[in-house]
Structure 1
């Protein structure tokens, strides 16, 4: 599903105050169920450090490119391979499974795990504890638990919470009245550090003002591409407007952007319509890497990918902090 627009609007008529009020009791139940699950959990402790990369909100905050950047940092610190453990959202396999891009597709393991597997080892499992054990058996020196802040399966050495610099915690309400998976008070209490992605707005600064740990900053940057003539974009991600802004920031002549729900599995008729529209406009089809891995190979060959990288503004400070936390893990402190 696509996140409702009112989730990120805090004031005024467009914030849907009546609908938000009607949905708030369901949000309270949702938050209580998350808190209860976390309180009852008995996390599995592994023999290698586990760094959790998660957030407090539903929707796109840039976790996937950050996971790629974080893997590079951890591999330098640990001097060994780092695996990513994921639920495998959208895939049919229950796991635990080591993702192999030569054998699996997005329908098997989910789009994000498949995309990440091109950069290094990825292990999926509905039970992330089992997936973590498989990763350790495979010789990983450390693990990244992707989107795991509300998942208590594995004991975490470091918990990083990713925050969108523009939208922060949205309207401050729990799903379905807002984007929050849990209350900020509860979620930030378990965080060791925050990574704010993008320019920090005044609202987001207020959201995180009470957090006492380190706050790091990162920006998402598209890899340069050269396309002459108009382009027609399409994507199924949490925040499609971000992809539209990316295309325009690259200086591309954007005819239109067709948004689909996050993790959308494209049907043949949808792809045919996209191809027909692009042909009528004389435009080149462009999409995200996450969407590209969901496309049939023959159609994917007709589409240009815009790759996004996450850049930490002070990678040296972040690496030093991570090294200190992992030194404590290795000494058992």
Structure 2
């Protein structure tokens, strides 16, 4: 069974990774590798619009504050495809954050009998401990850097300065050196997302020039864990039934 979690805008679904991970540019090849390693359930990130793999269940993730933005498709807006056909293929919606910008989409899917799950990003206590009492220079190259900066502030981190880069930005040593120098000059602690920090890692871990950076870890905490369990159980059961009927 393959399952996909995706976003109709461009916000990542961030969860603690506790299971084996396969990284592949070609989705079908990545799934084949996972199957070869004994996987019976595959959770695919960012695969909602990918037609190369047949999915048993598809989830979309929306930010409660951003919603779908202006509702237009890239490059005019944040959507990767027109909304109606995406909603038609959606098995459940995850709304992250307290805002109400996703309430119309949530109501539409609920009217179709699709589950709507509320969730919050919960900061890792170890990350907070490192930053407690310090002033930070935060930087990020994700879909919505402002959301990361707001998460830091709402967690009690004093963000003295921030720098936003384009989504999936490939940081150079020169850029990191500049950020490190700026932080040292003003007595600030450099902090970024785990996703951005991972792009700095090599085969032997983060390079020496990235050691001054604090990766800020978060997990996704669901308001109704029982509903999440039922959703996963139901989808796995339906997928198994479909295979038995073939």
> Which residue of structure 2 lines up, in the alignment, with residue 142 of structure 1?
41
> Which residue of structure 2 lines up, in the alignment, with residue 176 of structure 1?
75
Q: Deviations over 1:111-141 (max 9, x none)?
A: xxxxx5xx43222333311211111011112
SS of 2:98's partner is coil
> Which residue of structure 1 lines up, in the alignment, with residue 203 of structure 2?
none
Q: Which has the higher helix share?
A: 1
Question: Do structure 1's residue 63 and structure 2's residue 13 form an aligned pair?
Answer: yes
Q: Give the TM-score of the pair, scaled to structure 1.
A: 0.65
> Which residue of structure 2 lines up, in the alignment, with residue 209 of structure 1?
107
Q: Structure 1's 129 and 287: CA in aligned 2 closer, same or farther, altered over 3 A? A: same
> Which residue of structure 2 lines up, in the alignment, with residue 154 of structure 1?
53
Query: Structure 2: which 5+ residue stretches go unaligned?
Result: 201-205
Match of 2:153 among 234, 237, 248: 248
How far is 1:246 from its partner?
Answer: 1.7
Q: Structure 1's 304 and 331: CA in aligned 2 closer, same or farther, altered over 3 A? A: same
Written as runs of structure 1 = structure 2, the 5 A alignment for 1:241-320 is 241-295=146-200, 296-320=206-230
Q: Is the 8 A contact 1:172 1:178 kept in 2?
A: yes
Q: Structure 1's 279 and 191: CA in aligned 2 closer, same or farther, altered over 3 A? A: same
CA RMSD of aligned residues (A): 1.7
Q: Structure 1's 279 and 165: CA in aligned 2 closer, same or farther, altered over 3 A? A: same
Q: Deviations over 1:21-62 (max 9, x none)?
A: xxxxxxxxxxxxxxxxxxxxxxxxxxxx111111222x22x3
How far is 1:229 from its partner?
Answer: 2.8
CA distance in 1: counterparts of 2:26 and 2:194, whole angstroms = 26
How far is 1:63 from its partner?
Answer: 1.4
Q: Structure 1's 271 and 135: CA in aligned 2 closer, same or farther, altered over 3 A? A: same
Question: Do structure 1's residue 133 and structure 2's residue 32 form an aligned pair?
Answer: yes
Question: For this pair of structures, how many residues does the alignment match?
Answer: 231
